[in-house]
Structure 1
Amino acid sequence: MLDIVIDSRRAEIVPGFEVKRILPYQLRRMVGPFIFMDHGGPVNLPTPTATNLDVLPHPHIGLSTVSYLFSGNVTHRDSLGVEQVIKPGEVNWMTAGKGIAHSERFEDPAMLAGGELEMIQTWVALPEKDEESEPAFKNYTADQLPVFTEKGIWMRLIAGDAYGLKSNVSASSPLFYLHVVLDQGARFGLPVGHSERGVYIVRGSVEVNGVAYAAGKMIVFTKGVDPLIIAKESTTLMMLGGEHLGDRYIWWNFVSSRKERIEQAKEDWKQGRIILPPADNHEFVPLPKDNSRPAGGPPPGALS
Structure 2
Amino acid sequence: METKTKEVANVLKAPAPHMVGDGFRVHNFFPSGYEIDMNPFFLMDYGSKIEFSARKEPRGVGVHPHRGFETVTIAYHGAVAHHDSSGNSGIIFPGDVQWMTAASGILHKEYHEEAYSLTGGPFQMVQLWINLPAKDKMSKPKYQAVKQADMAKFILPDNGGNIEIIAGSYQGITGNASTFTPIELYNARINKGGKASFNFASNFNTGFMIVEGSVKINGTELAQVDSFIHFKKEGEEVSLEALENSVILILSGQPIDEPIFQYGPFLMNTEAEIDQAISDYNQGKFGYLEE
Same fold (TM over 0.5): yes
Consecutive unaligned residues in structure 1, runs of 5 or more: 283-304
Aligned residues of 1:5 and 1:218 also touching (Cα < 8 A): yes
In 1: Cα distance, 2:98 partner to 2:23 partner: 25
> Quick one: which of 172, 183, 186 aligns to 2:191?
183
In 1: Cα distance, 2:275 partner to 2:14 partner: 29
Matches within 5 A, 1:1-304: 1-9=7-15, 10-14=17-21, 18-25=25-32, 28-48=35-55, 51=57, 53-150=59-156, 151-193=159-201, 195-208=204-217, 209-222=219-232, 223-246=234-257, 247-277=259-289, 281-282=290-291
In 2: Cα distance, 1:129 partner to 1:257 partner: 10
Q: Deviations over 1:153-192 (max 9, x none)?
A: 2221111223322112111110110111222222222333
SS in 1 for 2:199: coil
In 2: Cα distance, 1:148 partner to 1:136 partner: 27
Aligned residues of 2:208 and 2:230 also touching (Cα < 8 A): yes
Calculate percent identity across the aligned residue pairs: 28
The TM-score, its normalising length taken from structure 2, stands at 0.86
RMSD: 2.3
CA 84–17 in structure 1, closer or farther in 2 if over 3 Å, else same: closer
SS in 2 for 1:227: strand
Q: Deviations over 1:196-222 (max 9, x none)?
A: 221111122222342322222211222
Consecutive unaligned residues in structure 2, runs of 5 or more: 1-6
Aligned residues of 2:67 and 2:137 also touching (Cα < 8 A): yes
- How many residues align? The count is 278
SS in 2 for 1:190: strand
Aligned residues of 2:23 and 2:61 also touching (Cα < 8 A): no
Aligned residues of 1:46 and 1:114 also touching (Cα < 8 A): yes
Shift of 1:17: 5.4
SS in 2 for 1:116: strand
Shift of 1:128: 1.5
* Letter of the 1:131 counterpart: K
SS in 1 for 2:244: coil
* Letter of the 1:24 counterpart: P
Aligned residues of 1:29 and 1:35 also touching (Cα < 8 A): no
CA 100–94 in structure 1, closer or farther in 2 if over 3 Å, else same: same
Aligned residues of 1:20 and 1:216 also touching (Cα < 8 A): no
